[in-house]
């Protein structure tokens, strides 16, 4: 697995050398174009780390990245940060990463994102660990779960179709963990239908970051190393 990331928004985003990428965002606003090219520059750095020739990464009809043959991966970008995580096919079955500004969700968003049981758990976590914006972390975890889900199914996964329980870190240097129970039929991986994804999270550099790795076999232990 290879991860490439970039902090900060200083300077212009690297221009894509691929005309097809330029065509994909030809009608987008400047900010969207900058994010699109910058995160793909990270993706090509990750390709290089894997010994894979650089290639364009074009969105499919739902906006998900289309990876060159032999690769799986995930990308994320937000203000001041962008990253890509890639692996060769035959390793993990799927990856999902997400980063968000570490701040509270806008008013009204949590009720749309979280199930009642999730909101109850967030309240308990906030009472014990008030420095973490657990609502934003839950949103990021749901994004990572979706990004790992979609390549395996080709279908949308609504926020309420996964129930996520977040666990604080076991120690000062350890990442936090979360488990996501899928409330719709899960993907079949390695001959087994998976109804649960596992992930990790961290809060650093003003960001809340989450990652999900779905192994190719029957184990569901997270192995992603994606933490800014």
Q: d(Cα 175, Cα 201) in Å, to the nearest integer?
A: 6
For 102-161, the pLDDT digits (tens) are 999 999 999 999 999 999 999 999 999 999 999 999 999 999 999 999 999 999 999 999
pTM of the model: 0.91
β partners of residue 207: 101, 204
- Same-domain status, 186 and 101: yes
- Same-domain status, 52 and 148: no
Domain that holds residue 141: 96-215
Of 70, 105, 120, at which residue does a domain stop? 70
Does a structural domain hold residue 55?
yes
Do the Cβ atoms of 42 and 48 come closer than 8 Å? no
Report the interhelical angle of 116-128 vs 134-153 (nearest 10°): 140
For 2-58, the pLDDT digits (tens) are 999 998 765 666 678 899 999 999 999 988 898 999 999 999 999 999 999 999 999
**In sequence order, what are the residues at sequence separation of 6 or more whose Cβ sits closer than 8 angstroms to the Cβ of residue 158?**
none
Count other Cβ atoms within 10 Å, centred on residue 23. Answer: 10
- Same-domain status, 118 and 200: yes
Does a structural domain hold residue 200?
yes
Does a structural domain hold residue 65?
yes
Q: Print burial letters for 131-143: b (CB count within 10 Å at least 16), e (below 16).
A: ebbbbbbbbbbbb
Does a structural domain hold residue 27?
yes
For 168-181, the pLDDT digits (tens) are 998 877 889 999 99
Does a structural domain hold residue 157?
yes
- Same-domain status, 121 and 45: no
- Same-domain status, 58 and 125: no
- Same-domain status, 114 and 205: yes
Does a structural domain hold residue 168?
yes
**Structural domain count of the chain:** 2
Does a structural domain hold residue 45?
yes
- Same-domain status, 50 and 116: no
């Amino acid at each position: 697995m290879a991860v490439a990331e970039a902090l900060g928004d200083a300077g212009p985003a690297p221009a894509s050398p691929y005309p097809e990428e330029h065509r994909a965002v030809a009608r987008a606003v400047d900010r969207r174009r900058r994010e699109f090219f910058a995160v793909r520059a990270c993706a090509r750095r990750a390709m290089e780390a894997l010994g894979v020739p650089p290639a364009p990464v074009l969105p499919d009809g739902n906006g998900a990245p289309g990876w060159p043959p032999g690769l799986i991966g995930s990308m994320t970008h937000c203000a001041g940060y962008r990253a890509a995580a890639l692996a060769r096919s035959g390793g993990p079955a799927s990856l999902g990463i997400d980063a968000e500004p570490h701040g509270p969700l806008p008013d009204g968003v949590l009720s749309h994102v979280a199930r009642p049981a999730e909101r109850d758990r967030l309240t308990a976590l906030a009472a014990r660990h008030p420095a973490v914006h657990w609502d934003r972390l839950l949103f990021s975890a749901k994004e990572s779960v979706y990004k790992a889900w979609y390549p395996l199914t080709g279908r949308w996964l609504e926020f309420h179709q996964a129930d996520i329980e977040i666990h604080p870190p076991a120690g000062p240097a350890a990442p936090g963990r979360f488990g996501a129970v899928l409330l719709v039929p899960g993907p079949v991986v390695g001959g087994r239908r998976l109804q649960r994804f596992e992930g990790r999270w961290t809060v650093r550099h003003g960001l809340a970051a989450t990652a999900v790795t779905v192994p190719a076999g029957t184990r569901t232990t997270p192995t992603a190393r994606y933490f800014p």
